[in-house]
Amino acid sequence: MKSTIDKAKNWLDSAVFDQHTIDEVQNLINDNSAQLEEAFYKNLEFGTGGMRGIMGAGTNRINKYTLGKNSQGIANYLKKVYPNETHKVAIAYDCRHNSQEFAYAVAQVFSANGVQVYIFPELRPTPLLSYAVKHLGCHCGIVLTASHNPPEYNGYKVYWTDGGQLVPPQDKEVINEIDHLQFKDVDFKGNKERITELGPDVDQAFIDDSIKNGGFNTTEESRKNLNISFTSLHGTSVTLVPKVLEKRGYKQVHIVKEQAEPNGDFPTVDSPNPEEPAALKMALELGEKKGSDLVAGTDPDGDRLGIAVRNLEGQLQVLNGNQTMVMMTWFLLEEWKKENRIQGKEFVASTIVSTPLMRVLTESYLVDYKESLTGFKWIAKLIKDNPELDFIGGGEESFGFMVGDFVRDKDAVTAILLVCEMAAQLKAEGSSIYEKMVELYTTHGYFKEHLVSLVKKGIEGAEEIKQKMIALRENPLKEIVGEKVVLIEDYSSQKAKNTHTKETYDIAIPQSNVLIYYTENGTKIAARPSGTEPKIKFYISVNTELESHKQYHQATEILDEKIQRIVKELGIA
């Protein structure tokens, strides 16, 4: 087994690597520091959202060569599985540093291997790439993005023929193809005749289908009366969201100008992640200034959506991902019901770490509810695996939602339109999204969730996360804040155990490093290492009953206090 420094010295070959890369690697070798170890101790791996990493030279970094090797492997794989076809790939990129350069380097590799490349010449949202794969009849799609990660990151997401991200068995087969390659095997020469830069036609088709899927029975007057403030957080959604809303007839759309300019440094936020309420600070300020009913913001690649709405006191309040998902799901179910489209062959999907209210709500409409692992590639797989069923919509707690199946990944562009339609309709009826949410809690039970993410960077951090999961498995919790644990689901062994009867049963969901505890009172605790970031995440769900909306504030205080006791007891503050 080669040492780290031996691996690094392989990158000094001028026949394979450019001078800039060689100089960077030589400096790392000269320093022989922890940075050298971090850059070369392993190969970057595909996670729930593809491949993400810090940019720089090295096998454990995002660079022209690691991305080129991926692309060469995929090109080889396409030739094997589609031997008598003209292979086609769609490529898009976001606002991050080097994204455009990486995208065209990837295009060079595919075109050099005889693959017809369709590339967006300017930055575009990830959901548009998913859409383009199907729209253009491509075999696969690539988007260069690191979503909401810090500025030093970039990434590479792979989509397959259905527009969904790469899933088993193709993912393992592709990885195997990549692992058998050397960097000298990558062909960067390119073929200009096989690279086509896309024009506005695909954008326009997406806009039309977004309105078709996300637009419902709202009146022209209600759309005109809705006041919206929007931020793209220096990312890609500014290229499509304003166009979609304008075409649908929303006249009062105020854009945070300081954040409308794409910028990979994300200079106005600590984190370009709408999961973090602080990311929406400037949008909230604009919303207050303009008297907005709704504030919306997306992450840099335009697939995650955060919103704030007026609460019962009339103040703008940021909803968490579970709340936003539940409200969009309710609106879709309600509209499908009004249109007599629920015929017993529909389904809604969410993930194993999302709020239990999704199941309760969906089944109250007599619609099938399906769960998957975290990551929209699994929801897209559910659609592919159930062609006899119509997909209404679905989401996950991490601020992602998919409206219908015309896009096979989370889609903040269409989700914003859906939220606007819901807000416009409810405002016209003298209600609001927040009021309706409290009404749903009163009807179905008040479920409140909380996420704790512990950042553990580098080699030591990865080992710490590993040991934490081992400890939770070898010494399982018996009680959580005085409530007996009645069920433990271990998605690594794909087994669930009833702690009272000691019975076990199989979990019919793909293997993953996730552990979930359930108590006798319905409290749910899930532990999961992130597949795309150096984090271990703890998902907490507690619940109570509401007899009326008047109990809402008191119940909120009780549940918040319970969540804090759980956090303290687990030692994850």
Place of tokens 């420094």: 5
Phi, psi for 299 (deg, rounded to 5):
-80, 175
Residue 184 predicted with pLDDT over 80: yes
Distances (CA, A) of 316 to 63, 268, 350: 42, 20, 27
- In the structure, what pLDDT confidence band is assigned to residue 239 with cuts at 50, 70 and 90? very high
pLDDT at site 43: 87
Listed residue (318, 392, 328, 385) closest to 355, CA to CA: 328
42 or 382: which carries more pLDDT confidence?
A: 382
pLDDT at site 49: 60
* Amino acid of residue 512: S
Distance from first CA to last CA of the chain, Å, rounded? Answer: 40
pLDDT at site 543: 98
The tokens describing 559, both together, are 């549940």
pLDDT at site 458: 84
- What whole-number distance in Å separates Cα of residue 126 and Cα of residue 412? 9
What percent of the chain stands above pLDDT 70?
Answer: 99
How many residues comprise the chain? 573
Q: Write the DSSP symbol of residue 498.
A: E
Q: What is the mean pLDDT of the chain?
A: 95
Q: Is 338 exposed, middle or buried (0-12, 13-18, 19+ CB in 10 A)?
A: exposed
Given the candidates 3.40.50, 1.10.30, 1.25.10, 3.30.310, the CATH classification of the domain at 446-570 is: 3.30.310
Q: Write the DSSP symbol of residue 478.
A: S
Domain ranges of the chain: 42-198, 205-444, 446-570
The tokens describing 364, both together, are 């109250």
SS (H, E, C) 253-285: EEECHHHCCCCCCCCCCCCCCCCCHHHHHHHHH
CB 331 within 8 A of CB 418: yes
pTM of the model: 0.95
CB 174 within 8 A of CB 73: yes
Distances (CA, A) of 141 to 89, 105, 144, 337, 567: 5, 15, 10, 35, 41
What percent of the chain stands above pLDDT 90?
Answer: 91
- In the structure, what pLDDT confidence band is assigned to residue 426 with cuts at 50, 70 and 90? very high
> Which CATH class for the 205-444 domain?
alpha beta
44-58, 178-192, 337-351, 484-498: which range is least confident on average? Answer: 44-58
Mean pLDDT of 314-340: 98
DSSP assignments along 176-188, one per residue: HHHHT--GGG---
pLDDT at site 47: 62
Fold equal for 42-198 and 205-444: yes
What residues have CB less than 8 Å from 550, skipping those under 6 apart? Answer: none
Mean pLDDT of 333-340: 98
The tokens describing 518, both together, are 């359930």
pLDDT in tens, 201-219: 999 999 999 999 999 999 9
Helices and strands (DSSP H and E) totals, the chain: 18, 23
Mean pLDDT of 473-477: 93
The tokens describing 504, both together, are 């076990």
pLDDT at site 34: 86
Q: Is 422 exposed, middle or buried (0-12, 13-18, 19+ CB in 10 A)?
A: buried
Mean pLDDT of 123-143: 98
* Amino acid of residue 81: V
Which helix H or strand E contains 161, and what residues bound it? none
CB 513 within 8 A of CB 491: yes
Give the residue numbers annotated as catalytic, written as ranges: 147
Within 158-227, residue ranges assigned H as helices are: 170-179, 200-214, 220-225
> Which CATH class for the 42-198 domain?
alpha beta
Residue 455 predicted with pLDDT over 80: yes
- In the structure, what pLDDT confidence band is assigned to residue 395 with cuts at 50, 70 and 90? very high
- In the structure, what pLDDT confidence band is assigned to residue 459 with cuts at 50, 70 and 90? confident
- In the structure, what pLDDT confidence band is assigned to residue 568 with cuts at 50, 70 and 90? very high
The tokens describing 400, both together, are 């992602």
